[in-house]
Amino acid sequence: MDEGQAVDVAGSAQPAPHTVAVPPGSWTGDRFMDRCVILSLRLKSIVDRVGKTATWLLVPLVVVTMWDVFARKLVWIQIFMVENFGSMFESTLLQEMEWHLHTALFCLVLGYGYTHNRHVRVDFLRENMKFRTQAWIEFIGCTLFLIPYISIIIYFACIYAYDSFVIGEQSASLVGLSHRWIIKSVLIIGMCFALLAGIAVWLQCFVVLFGKPQHRFALMTLRWPESVDREIDRVRLWVRLKKRAGMLNPRRRRGG
């Protein structure tokens, strides 16, 4: 859970030192806003579980990639494996399995990356804006771009996967993978969880913008102003301590 508040999705909250006291089981002191926060946290919990589980796809992805590279350098090993264990060890099939695993991993962690604010942003502009300005940008972006765009992707991805299933699409290579509709269906699943992540962030921004400004709860893509101030104070303190120790003074360091 993000810094600032340890939140239990079931309804209990442990306010951090900087928070304002609210009734037990409440984040904002408003029942409707509390429900928005609870729904947002539950959606985030679902997206987090899927994202963390999907990271295990890295293991077969690394294994398959390493084996493919290794076998192509030592061709006799690949020939031995194909002759004794079947076509599943052929280079073409392994290469297709690599991008299948990579596609599944990428799609299933999209939402997790967003709820944990790990996607690339234009930070040199956004970080210099006021807190509510950031919240408005996030809210408008989710409303006009992220949620509608992902919804459109899901719609066309469903058509994409369905057509692939109907025609029995398979690899263009004779020795490639069959059932291409499976990996295309993963795109639908991944975009659905990315949509849930977008809705979760949208709900939080809604509460931040239209709820009571004095109350606090754990945020995803935003940071409360006092949290930023504390971090700046920590950096300034670190710089002062380093200067006192002479670690940031080149002249003094050379003199020593």
Can you give the pLDDT at residue 216? 74
Residue 254 and residue 174 share a domain: no
Can you give the pLDDT at residue 24? 44
Residue 237 and residue 216 share a domain: no
Residue 171 and residue 99 share a domain: yes
**pLDDT class of 178 with cuts at 50, 70, 90:** confident
Q: How far is CA 160 from the centre of its chain?
A: 24
Phi, psi for residue 172 in degrees, rounded to 5: -65, -20
Can you give the pLDDT at residue 20? 38
User: Taking residues 177-199, what's their average pLDDT?
Assistant: 93
Residue 245 and residue 194 share a domain: no
Which domain does 249 fall in, by range?
A: 229-256
For 50-66, b where at least 16 C-beta lie within 10 A, e where not — what string?
Answer: bbeebeebeeebeebbe
Residue 175 and residue 51 share a domain: yes
**pLDDT class of 249 with cuts at 50, 70, 90:** low
Residue 239 and residue 134 share a domain: no
Q: What is the mean pLDDT of the chain?
A: 78
Q: How far apart are CA 105 and CA 212, in angstroms?
A: 39
pLDDT tens across 201-223, in order?
999 999 999 887 766 778 888 88
Residue 217 and residue 167 share a domain: yes
Residue 249 and residue 198 share a domain: no
Residue 132 and residue 239 share a domain: no
The larger pLDDT score, comparing residue 184 to residue 22, is at 184
pLDDT tens across 79-124, in order?
666 666 666 667 677 788 888 999 999 999 999 999 998 887 776 7
The CA-based angle 38-109-50, given to 5 degrees, is: 55
Residue 247 and residue 179 share a domain: no
Q: How far apart are CA 157 and CA 163, in angstroms?
A: 10
| H or E element at residue 219 | none
The larger pLDDT score, comparing residue 191 to residue 126, is at 191
Q: What pTM was computed for the model?
A: 0.74
Strand partners, 7: 13
Residue 144 and residue 29 share a domain: yes
Residue 85 and residue 151 share a domain: yes
Domain count of the fold of the chain: 2
Q: How far apart are CA 201 and CA 11, in angstroms?
A: 19
| H or E element at residue 170 | none
By the 8 A CB rule, do 68 and 91 touch? yes
**pLDDT class of 14 with cuts at 50, 70, 90:** very low
User: Taking residues 41-45, what's their average pLDDT?
Assistant: 93
